[in-house]
Amino acid sequence: MLPGERHKPYRDAYDRPIQYLRVSVTDRCNLRCVYCMPEQGVPLLSHDDILRHEEIARIVRVAIEMGFIHIRLTGGEPLARKGIVELVAELARIPGMDDLSMTTNGILLRQYAEPLAQAGLRRVNISLDTLQPDRFRQITRLGRLEDVLAGRQAALAAGLQPIKINTVVVRGLNDDEVVAIARKTMEPHWHVRFIEVMPLRSALGTASGATPWIDDGVVPSAEIRAQVEAELGPLTAVRGEAGGGPARYYQLSGAAGTLGLISPITEHFCHSCNRLRLTADGRLLPCLLSDAAIDLRGPLRAGADDEQLSDLFRQAMIEKPASYRVTRNAATCLSMSKIGG
In contact, 63 and 312? CB cutoff 8 Å:
no
- Among the residue ranges 85-89, 122-126, 310-314, 320-324, the one predicted with the least confidence is 320-324
Residue 75 has pLDDT above 80, yes or no: yes
Highest mean pLDDT among 205-209, 240-244, 306-310: 306-310
Domains and CATH numbers, the chain: 10-339 (3.20.20.70)
| Alpha carbons 131 and 181: distance in angstroms, whole number | 7
| Alpha carbons 266 and 220: distance in angstroms, whole number | 6
* H or E element, residue 90: helix 84-92
Q: What residue type is 64 in one-letter code?
A: I
Give the pLDDT confidence score for residue 37 in this predicted structure.
79
Strands (E), the chain: 10-11, 17-18, 20-24, 70-74, 99-104, 123-127, 164-169, 191-196, 235-237, 248-252, 259-262, 275-278, 283-285, 294-295
C-alpha to C-alpha distances, 126 to 19, 46, 202, nearest whole angstrom: 22, 27, 26
C-alpha to C-alpha distances, 129 to 8, 52, 210, nearest whole angstrom: 37, 32, 18
Average pLDDT of the residues in 170-198: 96
Average pLDDT of the residues in 333-337: 50
- Among the residue ranges 23-32, 80-89, 236-245, 293-302, the one predicted with the least confidence is 236-245
Closest to 35 (Cα-Cα) out of 265, 224, 200, 172: 200
With H, G, I as helix, E, B as strand and everything else as coil, classify residue 58.
helix
Give the pLDDT confidence score for residue 284 in this predicted structure.
97
With H, G, I as helix, E, B as strand and everything else as coil, classify residue 275.
strand
Closest to 282 (Cα-Cα) out of 267, 298, 265, 271: 298
| Alpha carbons 28 and 210: distance in angstroms, whole number | 18
Question: pLDDT-based confidence at 36, cuts 50/70/90?
Answer: confident
Average pLDDT, the chain: 89
Give the pLDDT confidence score for residue 250 in this predicted structure.
97
Give the pLDDT confidence score for residue 210 in this predicted structure.
41
Which residues, in sequence order, are bridge partners of residue 124?
Answer: 102
Give the pLDDT confidence score for residue 73 in this predicted structure.
98
DSSP for 243-258, written as a single string: T--S-EEEEETT-SS-
Average pLDDT of the residues in 305-309: 98
Give the pLDDT confidence score for residue 236 in this predicted structure.
97
Question: pLDDT-based confidence at 243, cuts 50/70/90?
Answer: low
Average pLDDT of the residues in 249-253: 97
Percent of residues, the chain, with pLDDT higher than 90: 74
Helix 145-158 vs helix 133-140: crossing angle, to nearest 10: 100
Question: pLDDT-based confidence at 44, cuts 50/70/90?
Answer: confident
Percent of residues, the chain, with pLDDT higher than 70: 87
Question: pLDDT-based confidence at 293, cuts 50/70/90?
Answer: very high
Residue 328 has pLDDT above 50, yes or no: no
Question: pLDDT-based confidence at 204, cuts 50/70/90?
Answer: very low
| Alpha carbons 143 and 146: distance in angstroms, whole number | 9
Question: pLDDT-based confidence at 229, cuts 50/70/90?
Answer: very high
Give the pLDDT confidence score for residue 336 in this predicted structure.
55
- Among the residue ranges 33-42, 124-133, 260-269, the one predicted with the least confidence is 33-42
Give the pLDDT confidence score for residue 330 in this predicted structure.
43
Residue 146 has pLDDT above 90, yes or no: yes
Q: What is the DSSP letter of 216?
A: G
CA pseudo-torsion sign 189, 80, 121, 57: negative
